[in-house]
Amino acid sequence: MQDIRIGTLVEGRHAVQVLPQILPHGFECFSLTFWQSTGSTDLAETARRVRDLTEASGTKISCLEIFGNPLTGEGDNADTLASWERLIDHAHLFGTDLVSGFTGRLPGVPLDASLPRYAEVFGELSRRAADKGVRLCFENCAMDGNWQAGEWNIAHSPDAWEAMWNALPADNIGLEWEPCHQMVGLIDPLPQLRKWASKVFHVHGKDATIAWDVIRESGIHGPKPYVWHRTPGFGDTNWTDVISILRQSGYAGDINIEGFHDPVYRGELEMTGQVHALKYLKECRGGAFISNPVIDEPERAGSA
């Protein structure tokens, strides 16, 4: 049953403190995340201590994640590109072959204007990663951008993915997919997943609730929110279908819950919501593994 493990995201700089506290809840894997920079984190030492924890508990690190804009190298994103390089170089120490994040984007211009810079930056990164047996993938989050303008990420829609693969064909580049960000754009995530599952390297466990009554009454540009990010088990997505589609496509990666977004299960209820999501996703995966009966066939006379 653990061909698809269920885990959660943990800040990389706090991983050594946090993992011992949440391992008893039954998480099977973890993504270690960094915002814009790996900063002063000693990745080799962190990897050593994290591996001690995961190997003792039978868990694993799914991927390392860096969320920033590696295309500009400006301001708070000045270290983002170097952080991609560091995580690629250190991934094997954590026992993973996957590094994920945002593509970055040239601010204030249409999406396709960023494609040459994307191909330049991630062409180099994909070659660096391939030399080390590492894959790269991009979260499908718009970060409030659209086709006309944005500041963080171009990998937020199927049209963008097509343009990205055309600009930079690379077998070790794929998607870090989740239904939430597609639902924010009023895209039905399931037919999209069926089409693109072969390019999905990692899945974030984040859902959404769409208030169709608000949309019908006020549209999406009125004063009332029309969609909320949700922890799995509290949103609109049927994760049994998500996992079935993933399995039918041969996906053997992980699903890591992306918490700290739910408008209800937050604050002191954060881990309550995440553990509920963990149990819910395990049930959507099929529940506890049950082995099949073993039947010994008697030898037949005259059989070859």
Separation between Cα atoms, residue 34 and residue 23, nearest integer Å:
20
Each residue's pLDDT tens digit, 175-223: 999 999 999 999 999 999 999 999 999 999 999 999 999 999 999 999 9
Beta bridge partners of 150: none
Q: Where are the alpha helices (DSSP H) in 168-231?
A: 179-184, 189-196, 212-218
pLDDT in tens, 231-252: 999 999 999 999 999 999 999 9
For residue 161, what are the CA distances in angstroms to 138, 190, 199?
10, 17, 10
Look at residues 191, 193, 137 and name the one whose alpha carbon lies nearest to residue 165. Answer: 137
Distance between CA atoms of residues 4 and 77, nearest Å: 33
Q: Where are the alpha helices (DSSP H) in the chain?
A: 15-22, 43-57, 80-94, 115-131, 158-167, 179-184, 189-196, 212-218, 239-248, 270-284
Question: What confidence tier does 53 reach under pLDDT thresholds 50, 70, 90?
Answer: very high
**Mean pLDDT for the stretch of residues 283-296:** 93
Spatial CA neighbour of 176 closest among 232, 118, 137, 231:
137
> What pLDDT is attached to residue 302?
59
Backbone CA torsion sign across 40, 41, 43, 49: positive
Residue 1 has pLDDT above 50, yes or no: no
Indicate the pLDDT class of residue 8, thresholds 50, 70 and 90: very high
Give the pLDDT of residue 34.
98
Q: Show the tokens assigned to 139.
A: 């979260």
Residue pLDDT, tens place only, 110-127: 999 999 999 999 999 999
Task: Please give the C-alpha separations between residue 199 and each of 114, 136, 142, in angstroms, as whole numbers.
Answer: 21, 11, 18
300 pLDDT tier (thresholds 50, 70, 90): low
* Arithmetic mean of pLDDT, 16-36: 98
Kindly state the average pLDDT of the residues 141-158.
Answer: 96
pLDDT score recorded for residue 301:
60
Distance CA 112, CA 94 (A): 35
Task: Check whether 303 has a pLDDT greater than 60.
Answer: no
